[in-house]
């Protein structure tokens, strides 16, 4: 009923607008010679963290941790107290089980002891002060309250966390083996399956391990459809040459795509199968099970990918989507705060999973080489996140590597950001919320990074700040003198309650951001730059019911509202800004309801439909890059229009957003210095609540401009129009 209500409401408003539109005064836009933002690039995008469960199934080899490798734990400790042989953290929730950090390395990053390293002999979840406590093997360095220390633990003895061992599997049947790996493997271990010997199959289950994919189909449909020709491969050997390996790949509720049992010899052998996928059954979870019988079987370096896909490490659907969106920057934020340099550049078969905060969750990401290859392929500059837990040597190695890639790949610039949202308590185990501590650690990191790059490399060093807290964000910048940029995230509509509107919610999506001009003015005074590391809707708060909330954040008006925020940033001098993100399907709220944030693609699978936010980004990028010029807007309803004029090499472009419930007639006058636009793009939908979730209800209409200057056009209610050469 709520969906019908909103669409009916807009239909009534539209009828009234059409009746009154002819009586309204025409608004005029005059493009002025003054340049507000020189050489503004295309709008960028956060690629996002890969997922095997949801919408962000990005990689061509769909296995996470295909080499069955171990786990890296790295974390930030801010010293609360220190003694001769101990120090503790200043927050209690960072504690791990007693002894977890025994044998771990520590690296002091700030204070008098900065640069000193050592080894821990033990740790406790709660020490005498009720805080996580760490005991050093040798006398501790001279630590003071507030000093930052990084802990690093690499565990190659535990099971690979990205694979599942069924609950009915007897203990000891599945284990890693660091003494066995297939010939030529870049990794350091394999996975052993050890069935119970001498027991009839009907009395004991086989030793088995399972990988799961595409598990939210009940609410999203098949996000990873198995169609066309696929190939599965794995290396295997058995102890006595008597082993059998059973391979089953299927979607629950459907016939298997692949079901094979193979004899496993005593020497390592590559096992491969090709099969045709026809994914016409119910929306069940995908699973691939590997089961061993009769003999101990070792497994190593496996892959499962669609054939004929020569796009590199990422799925061709990812490449196709990015080629449509045309991001000027691609931001690599995938939770890598606890990674190591060695792991960041390791090939997939040698890559470990990593984690920076307590809990069972870790991640298996794409590598730096794969990410930069993707940037080159789609013509985007890289925006990279430096892990906050690196050592001096790791920062130098990163800088040296990136400088070579910039030269090799022809990137015009790279943004390098220290960590992610250091101010945010969610990332405290990998961040530095105190500006003074943050500044000392970040400045040291940037110094060693630049030592690695050498001079004259086009890199912008960025620190991040909380958008809603201008004073604190500027302190983060001021604390890091060698930073070039302050990056913020001007998210839209954090909360929405039913009491926030009476007739229609759409005006809430078009509110002007008061902080961006303040930031721009302050960073300019400091001789620095302002960037936007993330922007989109963040409507996770408030008491609006889920159905109406979904209409608002996925409706056509969301595209226009996002475009308004992006244009505001362009008009105050922001060059680099990145929408968040490519392919996340939805997000779980504290009340366990779901909201369809933040992916600009509805899916990367069967439909490749863009959400209105993705369509808006595509439209703006059709007008960029170029010089953003000042405008003079006059006439009626000037406060409901947001526009940016771009002088490109081939002529003028203009983007206009209307925050009015009525159609607006606009006359546009361009300087004669460049040709006027000849093409009109419009975000086309029947209602502001129309979405692309279940069918394509929102499109980009494309038509030629006719008539002599000045140009005349009508902006739809809550609409977005882009004019291009």
> What confidence tens digit (pLDDT) does each residue in 589-630 have?
888 899 999 999 999 988 899 999 999 999 999 999 999 999
Angle at CA of residue 716, ends 715 and 717, nearest 5°? 120
Of the candidates 108, 194, 133, the residue with the CA atom closest to the CA atom of residue 159: 194
Which DSSP string corresponds to 559-618? HHHHHHHHHHHHHTT---BEES-SS---EE-TTS-EE--S-SBS-SSSS-PBPHHHHHHH
SS3 640: helix
Name 463's bridge partners: 486
- The pLDDT of residue 18 is 34
- The pLDDT of residue 45 is 98
Give 202's pLDDT tier (boundaries 50, 70, 90): low
| 386 pLDDT above the threshold of 80 | yes
Half-sphere exposure of 471 (CA within 13 A, CB side): 0
pLDDT in tens, 256-273: 999 999 999 999 999 999
In a domain, 32, yes or no: yes
- The pLDDT of residue 201 is 57
Q: Are residues 190 and 297 in the same domain?
A: yes
Of the candidates 177, 47, 156, 24, the residue with the CA atom closest to the CA atom of residue 636: 24
Q: Are residues 208 and 296 in the same domain?
A: yes
| 21 pLDDT above the threshold of 60 | no
pLDDT in tens, 324-382: 999 999 999 999 999 999 999 999 999 999 999 998 888 999 999 999 999 999 999 99
In a domain, 654, yes or no: yes
- The pLDDT of residue 470 is 97
Radius of gyration of the chain (CA): 28
User: What's the maximum distance between 2 C-alpha atoms anywhere in the chain?
Assistant: 90
At 78, which CATH number? 2.40.10.190
Burial degree of 593 (CB within 10 A; 0-12, 13-18, 19+): middle
| 11 pLDDT above the threshold of 50 | no
Give 637's pLDDT tier (boundaries 50, 70, 90): confident
- The pLDDT of residue 14 is 39
Of the candidates 692, 29, 50, the residue with the CA atom closest to the CA atom of residue 370: 50
Could you check whether the bond before residue 649 is cis, i.e. omega within 30 degrees of 0?
no
Q: Are residues 31 and 77 in the same domain?
A: no
Average pLDDT over residues 79-96: 94
- The H-or-E segment that residue 9 falls in is helix 2-21
Q: Are residues 189 and 287 in the same domain?
A: yes
| 2 pLDDT above the threshold of 50 | no
pLDDT in tens, 414-452: 999 999 999 999 999 999 999 999 999 999 999 999 999
| 224 pLDDT above the threshold of 50 | yes
> Residue 126 and residue 133: Cα distance in Å, rounded?
6
- 243: which 2 tokens? 């082993």
| 25 pLDDT above the threshold of 90 | no
Average pLDDT over residues 33-49: 96
pLDDT in tens, 71-85: 999 999 999 999 999
Q: What letter does residue 70 receive in the DSSP assignment?
A: -
| 532 pLDDT above the threshold of 50 | yes
- Residue 159 near residue 211 (C-beta atoms within 8 A): no
3-state helix, strand, coil in the chain (%, to 5): 25, 30, 45
| Contacts of residue 302, Cβ cutoff 8 Å, sequence gap at least 6 | 63, 66, 232, 233, 234, 235
Angstrom CA distances, 343 to 154, 184, 354, 387, 554, stand at: 11, 18, 9, 12, 37
In a domain, 687, yes or no: yes
- Residue 57 near residue 224 (C-beta atoms within 8 A): yes
Angstrom CA distances, 169 to 69, 178, 206, 602, stand at: 21, 22, 8, 38
Which DSSP string corresponds to 167-209? TTSPTTSEEEETT---TT-SSS-EEEE-PPTT--TTTSPPEEE
Q: Are residues 87 and 147 in the same domain?
A: yes
At 297, which CATH number? 2.60.120.260
Q: What are the DSSP E strand ranges found in 294-343?
A: 297-306, 329-332
Half-sphere exposure of 22 (CA within 13 A, CB side): 3
- The pLDDT of residue 3 is 39
- 561: which 2 tokens? 């509202």
The residue out of 252, 276, 306 marking a domain boundary is: 306
| 7 pLDDT above the threshold of 60 | no
- Containing domain of residue 240, as a range? 185-306
In a domain, 474, yes or no: no
> Residue 38 and residue 458: Cα distance in Å, rounded?
17
> Residue 583 and residue 598: Cα distance in Å, rounded?
8
Angle at CA of residue 353, ends 350 and 355, nearest 5°? 150
**What value does the mean pLDDT of the chain take?**
93
Q: Are residues 151 and 192 in the same domain?
A: no
| 41 pLDDT above the threshold of 80 | yes
Q: Are residues 106 and 212 in the same domain?
A: no
Average pLDDT over residues 7-24: 40
| 502 pLDDT above the threshold of 60 | yes
Q: Are residues 213 and 256 in the same domain?
A: yes
Could you give the number of structural domains in the chain?
3
Q: Are residues 231 and 276 in the same domain?
A: yes
Looking up tokens 């020189």 gives: 38
- The pLDDT of residue 673 is 87
| 1 pLDDT above the threshold of 90 | no
- Residue 102 near residue 120 (C-beta atoms within 8 A): yes
pLDDT in tens, 116-137: 999 999 999 999 999 999 999 9
- The pLDDT of residue 633 is 94
In a domain, 593, yes or no: no
Q: Are residues 126 and 83 in the same domain?
A: yes
| 519 pLDDT above the threshold of 80 | yes
Q: What letter does residue 709 receive in the DSSP assignment?
A: S
pLDDT in tens, 552-586: 999 999 999 999 999 999 999 999 999 999 999 99
> Residue 610 and residue 696: Cα distance in Å, rounded?
9
Name 274's bridge partners: 231
> Residue 500 and residue 544: Cα distance in Å, rounded?
10
Q: CB count, 10 Å around CB of 650?
A: 11
Could you check whether the bond before residue 598 is cis, i.e. omega within 30 degrees of 0?
yes
Q: Are residues 147 and 215 in the same domain?
A: no
Give 9's pLDDT tier (boundaries 50, 70, 90): very low
In a domain, 114, yes or no: yes
In a domain, 393, yes or no: no
- The pLDDT of residue 198 is 60
| 15 pLDDT above the threshold of 90 | no
| 24 pLDDT above the threshold of 60 | no
Q: Are residues 243 and 291 in the same domain?
A: yes
> Residue 29 and residue 37: Cα distance in Å, rounded?
18
At 8, which CATH number? 2.60.40.1180
In a domain, 233, yes or no: yes
């Amino acid at each position: 009923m709520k969906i019908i209500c909103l669409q009916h409401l807009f239909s009534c408003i539209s009828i009234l607008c059409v009746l009154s539109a002819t009586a309204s005064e025409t608004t005029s836009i005059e493009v002025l010679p003054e340049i507000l933002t020189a050489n503004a690039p295309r709008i960028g995008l956060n690629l996002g963290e890969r997922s095997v469960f949801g919408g962000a199934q990005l990689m061509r080899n769909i296995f996470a941790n295909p080499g069955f490798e171990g786990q890296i734990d790295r974390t930030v400790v801010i010293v609360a107290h220190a003694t001769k042989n101990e120090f503790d953290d200043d927050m209690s929730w960072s504690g791990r089980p007693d002894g977890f950090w025994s044998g771990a390395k520590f690296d002091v990053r700030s204070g008098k002891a900065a640069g000193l390293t050592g080894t821990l002999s033990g740790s406790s979840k709660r020490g005498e002060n009720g805080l996580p406590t760490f005991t050093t093997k040798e006398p501790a360095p001279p630590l003071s309250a507030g000093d930052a220390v990084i802990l690093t633990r690499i565990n190659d003895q535990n099971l690979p966390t990205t694979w599942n061992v069924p609950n009915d599997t007897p203990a000891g049947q599945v284990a890693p083996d660091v003494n066995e790996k297939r010939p030529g493997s870049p990794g350091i271990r394999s996975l052993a399956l050890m069935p119970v010997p001498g027991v009839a199959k009907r009395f004991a289950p086989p030793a088995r391990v399972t990988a799961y994919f595409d598990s939210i189909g009940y609410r999203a449909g098949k996000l990873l459809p198995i169609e066309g020709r696929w190939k599965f491969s794995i290396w295997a050997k058995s102890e006595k040459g008597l082993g059998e390996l059973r391979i089953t790949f299927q979607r629950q509720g459907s016939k298997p795509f692949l079901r094979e049992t193979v004899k496993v010899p005593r020497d390592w052998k590559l096992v491969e199968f090709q099969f045709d996928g026809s994914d016409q059954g119910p929306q069940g979870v995908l699973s691939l099970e590997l089961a061993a019988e009769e003999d101990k079987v070792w497994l190593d370096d496996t892959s499962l990918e669609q054939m004929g896909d020569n796009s590199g490490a990422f799925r061709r659907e990812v490449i196709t989507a990015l080629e449509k969106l045309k991001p000027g920057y691609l931001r690599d934020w995938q939770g890598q705060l606890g990674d190591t340099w060695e792991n960041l550049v390791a090939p997939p078969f040698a890559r470990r999973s990593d984690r920076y905060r307590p809990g069972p969750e870790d991640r298996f990401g794409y590598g730096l080489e794969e990410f930069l290859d993707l940037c080159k392929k789609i013509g985007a500059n890289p925006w990279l996140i430096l892990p906050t837990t690196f050592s001096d040597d790791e920062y130098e190695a990163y800088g040296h590597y990136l400088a070579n890639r910039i030269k090799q790949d022809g990137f015009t610039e790279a943004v390098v950001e220290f960590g992610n949202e250091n101010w945010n308590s969610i990332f405290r185990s990998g961040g530095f919320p105190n500006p003074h501590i943050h500044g000392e650690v970040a400045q040291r990191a940037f110094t060693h990074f630049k030592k690695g790059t050498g001079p004259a490399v086009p890199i912008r060093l960025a620190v991040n700040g909380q958008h809603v807290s201008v004073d604190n964000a500027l302190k983060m910048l001021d604390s890091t003198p060698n930073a070039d940029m302050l990056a913020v995230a001007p998210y839209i509509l954090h909360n929405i309650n039913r009491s926030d509107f009476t007739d229609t919610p759409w005006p809430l999506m078009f509110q002007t951001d008061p902080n961006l001009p303040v930031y721009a003015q302050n960073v300019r005074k400091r001789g620095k730059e302002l960037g936007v590391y993330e922007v989109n809707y963040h409507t996770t708060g408030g008491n609006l019911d889920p159905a109406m909330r979904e209409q608002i954040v996925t409706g056509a008006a969301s595209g226009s509202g996002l475009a308004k925020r992006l244009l505001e940033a362009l008009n105050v001098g922001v060059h680099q800004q990145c929408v968040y993100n490519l392919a996340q399907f939805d997000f779980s709220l504290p009340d366990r309801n779901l909201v369809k944030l933040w992916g600009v693609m509805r899916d990367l699978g069967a439909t490749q439909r863009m959400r209105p936010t993705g369509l808006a980004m595509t439209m703006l990028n059709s007008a960029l890059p170029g010089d953003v010029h000042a405008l003079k807007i006059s006439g009626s309803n000037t406060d409901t229009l947001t526009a940016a004029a771009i002088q490109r090499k081939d002529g003028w472009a203009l983007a206009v957003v209307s925050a009015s419930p009525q159609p607006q007639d606009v006359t546009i006058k361009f300087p004669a210095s460049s040709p006027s636009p000849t093409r009109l793009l419009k975000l086309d939908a029947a209602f502001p609540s129309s979405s692309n979730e279940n069918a394509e209800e929102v499109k980009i209409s494309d038509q030629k401009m006719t008539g002599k200057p000045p140009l005349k056009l009508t902006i739809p209610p809550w609409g977005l129009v882009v004019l291009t050469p």
